[in-house]
Structure 1
């Protein structure tokens, strides 16, 4: 982590936070706020989502995203798409469509076109940095996280609370470098990679998706809050620091409850993260303590 690279990440996090904050300041919904925050990070090559997505074994890109509203429990998700510039924006449209929750691949892209989305070439997601990542591990035959070497995961997410007291969560990713066979992670799966319920919390996860899928991590945090009657911080730490560590799952979560309490919980060396509250300065963090 060079000082220049760290500055770039913190700047990108601030831009995303400001995009979400702008929606909330105008009285917009938590769902719209997390959509804009995530879309901002999808537009950056620094994160493993949207523009910065990693390469699959086939040397292309397959993207995933999801969003959930804590008041209505409506949700929208997509996976295995190759031509959607901002996957989170399509997930947001699906969330408001009572006919669907989860769409995949070509069907999702056909739906997107009918909803007025312009598809982009898969080459839009190309970057030399990501291609070099693929080449460096392709001969090994393994799949790796975006930031496998330094454990600061690249999947992006956002959680928010609006002036009406509604909370929402959103997650977006390009998956694993060198992934095969149409592999899908936890990011688009409601309850695993994202969850929101005004009675408990909104959660967005990042890490090795197979573990988060098996553990239904996002929902488990909400359920722990509800059934054990504990705080969001205690619930998140119980699931991430205790359960997931025993389970062998590495990663973390961001979360917010209906009182506006914000948590970051992760069992890795670091996690790019940030927060902003009304009347307070934006904060960004990378490592355990800063």
Structure 2
């Protein structure tokens, strides 16, 4: 006959083991000491082909992408929050004429630079966005100010610029955003529109594309996402694309993922692309990779839309999905592993 005392002891040990296991599985990500963190960025998608890229320009893009992502990475590595990482990373790209954002923004049909941006954090689902600003040096910082210093989500035009001044953000003369390359692109697009040029120009085909974005996960398990753009070359009537629209160009939710989009904005708005990826994860229980592939390669493509997204989830899983020939992009994980890409590989 079995010893009842031994049986009781074994039962007690089993219970303790079960309680320990359960406790480990239900640890709150807000209070644990997990060192998982990650960051992913993009600098626009489109017809980016090796044959159209000089060696020096390719090096310039890769160098700036690395500078940008390392800026945010160091913040995360030192225990900083994901919002700070996203804002600082996008600052680097906003101040580079290589990208269609702030300093490198494309021109409207009237020869102006009209800037859009948005930012969102996944813990509270708070968000801020701006559209059509022309004198604010950093649109992403203004979007964050809207999120944190106002009761609103989106401000536009002159009102957004007044708010920026009240918040002490840096205001610049519109000439700050001028670059010769973007003005030449505008002239080529307008000449093509008028039927006065027969020369193939990849910039004409990609007049709808550009944009920079960042998604970050910090050590506290919080996700943030941000997007900043100059919009579409030769845009008219104060056109606004997907970049400042929460759920289309930017979305973040700790329960699912963070997303930043780039591409033909009208389709991303109609498809509510950023939120659609999150919703598929929440309601269907699929992975970030599965959701992103379904939305970009199937749903967006079927609509006729082109572009891509970057994203990550709370486990640090990153995704880059696009249906164009290329996308400027980079990732870094908690191990410090850096990956940079431009072409479709």
Q: 1:51 aligns with which of 99, 103, 107?
A: 103
Q: Is the 8 A contact 1:147 1:153 kept in 2?
A: no
Q: Is the 8 A contact 1:270 1:287 kept in 2?
A: yes
Instruction: Deviation per CA, 1:203-260: give whole Å up to 9, x if none.
Output: 0000000000111000000001111100000000000000011000000000000111
In the alignment, structure 1 residue 210 sits paired with structure 2 residue 266: yes
Pair 1:286–1:122, CA change in 2 (3 A): same
In the alignment, structure 1 residue 171 sits paired with structure 2 residue 227: yes
Cα distance in 2 for residues equivalent to 1:133 and 1:40: 23
Pair 1:26–1:252, CA change in 2 (3 A): same
Corresponding residue for 1:87?
139
In the alignment, structure 1 residue 280 sits paired with structure 2 residue 336: yes
In the alignment, structure 1 residue 2 sits paired with structure 2 residue 58: no
Corresponding residue for 1:244?
300
In the alignment, structure 1 residue 76 sits paired with structure 2 residue 128: yes
Pairs within 5 Å for 1:131-280: 131-141=183-193, 147=203, 149=205, 153-280=209-336
Structure 2: any 5+ residue segments left out of the alignment? 1-52, 195-201
Deviation at 1:147, TM superposition (A): 4.9
Corresponding residue for 1:106?
158
Structure 1: any 5+ residue segments left out of the alignment? none
With the length of structure 1 as denominator, give the TM-score of the two structures: 0.95
Q: Is the 8 A contact 2:311 2:319 kept in 1?
A: yes
Cα distance in 2 for residues equivalent to 1:84 and 1:75: 19
Q: Is the 8 A contact 2:209 2:231 kept in 1?
A: no
Cα distance in 1 for residues equivalent to 2:207 and 2:321: 14
Q: Is the 8 A contact 2:208 2:232 kept in 1?
A: no
Corresponding residue for 2:69?
17
- Paired residue secondary structure (1:195): strand
Deviation at 1:280, TM superposition (A): 2.5
Q: Is the 8 A contact 1:274 1:285 kept in 2?
A: yes
Cα distance in 2 for residues equivalent to 1:112 and 1:151: 29
Pair 1:193–1:251, CA change in 2 (3 A): same
Cα distance in 2 for residues equivalent to 1:151 and 1:21: 31
Pair 1:189–1:150, CA change in 2 (3 A): closer
Cα distance in 2 for residues equivalent to 1:152 and 1:11: 25
Corresponding residue for 2:8?
none
In the alignment, structure 1 residue 40 sits paired with structure 2 residue 96: no
Cα distance in 1 for residues equivalent to 2:343 and 2:277: 22
- Paired residue secondary structure (2:185): helix
Q: Is the 8 A contact 2:129 2:245 kept in 1?
A: yes
Cα distance in 1 for residues equivalent to 2:206 and 2:105: 18
Deviation at 1:122, TM superposition (A): 0.7
Deviation at 1:2, TM superposition (A): 1.0
With the length of structure 2 as denominator, give the TM-score of the two structures: 0.80
Deviation at 1:154, TM superposition (A): 2.2
- Paired residue secondary structure (2:270): helix
The list of structure 1 runs, each at least 4 consecutive aligned residues, that deviate by more than 6 angstroms after superposition, is none
Cα distance in 2 for residues equivalent to 1:81 and 1:89: 12
Deviation at 1:98, TM superposition (A): 4.8
